[in-house]
A = this chain, B = another copy of it.
């Protein structure tokens, strides 16, 4: 028996794509459908059945953990197992996700399936389901944020001049791990001039007094993720730093105020840039405004000038304007926002940037 998520997927592909079955090769997509922590595996979804194709390293966990999905173990070559299943279920047109199928794998599939099934590109079918979070998923992300807030509180006690960025990372990681979670991505702990690199990691630099420290990290609990950036200001804050911070806070607030169902993702991005333009800071804001968060730390939708989609109820996005002044400093403010029926809820809202 296929679960509701599988059924929705099958309805979608039966309606929109002329395919009999869909091959999935992305762990997060498979995890979403099966609610099992998929790892280096494939899934085949026919109109009535789902298969999980894995090797000996993972087969025992898969058999114990998967409900309503048949587990098939392959030896050396998942293509052969896939071909057998396609024959058995008379699959004539097999959808595959172009983004998670390398050109090399596509060629190999073509070798295995010289005539049937025909390979049909079918991209983003699971991702589009994943854009809209259900109650259970929203609850999971709230759990991540609860622990995230605790971690920020802990950091308030930890971050002091004299410590290195790495020492702070070690303490933060210990906190996160000992609470049964892990980082959803490699944390960014960037002090003083290091903060001007949007994707800094952490170094052995000693944090000094009167500096800003940018902390961008995320909590992963059972696959779901959080993503927030906070800026710690130690000692006196230079007026230039304060001005940038205030401009960003305003840009973020104005962008968030537009978030509701039906609004274009690009409009939200543009609004933040508009505010920063007034402060002559827009040219230092190089990346896009935000991204969806769920089983992946970056997923659909994107809040970017290039985005073509509209916001919908149930989406969860980051809103993270940043300003990076080369060789001086960088600041980013980042919160997570849920699109609600009437507008939005800042999931990390009651926990302000300090």
Does residue A61 face the partner (Cβ distance < 8 Å to B)?
A: yes
- A169 in contact (CB, < 8 A): yes
A326 to chain B, nearest CB (A): 6
By secondary structure, the A interface counts as mixed
Q: Which residues of B contact A123 (CB under 8 A)?
A: 104
Contact partner of A170 (CB less than 8 A), chosen from B102, B166, B174, is B174
Cβ of A58 within 8 Å of any chain B Cβ, yes or no, is yes
**8 Å CB contacts to B: which residues of A158-204?**
166-167, 169-170, 173-174, 177-178, 180, 196-199, 204
A76 B306 Cβ-Cβ under 8 A: yes
Bound-state CA distance A287–B58 (Å) is 10
Within 8 Å CB of A103, what residues of B? 96, 98-99, 101-103, 106, 121
Q: In the assembled complex, which residues on chain B have CB atoms less than 8 Å from the CB atom of A57?
A: 198-199, 286-287
Q: Identify the interface centre among A104, A166, A204, A326: most chain B CB within 10 Å of its CB.
A: A104
Alpha-carbon distance A297/B204, docked complex (angstroms): 25
Number of interface residues of A (CB under 8 A): 40
The answer to whether A351 has its CB under 8 Å from any CB of chain B is no
Interface positions, chain A 67-115, Cβ under 8 Å from B, are: 76, 96, 98-104, 106-107
CA distance A166 to B104 in the complex (A): 38
Expressed in whole angstroms, the minimum distance between the Cβ of A164 and any Cβ of chain B is: 10
CA distance A170 to B306 in the complex (A): 41
Q: Chain B residues near A96 (CB, 8 Å)?
A: 103
Given known contacts A170-B178, A204-B180, is B100 in contact with A197 (CB within 8 Å)?
no
How close is A36's CB to chain B, nearest CB, in angstroms? 14
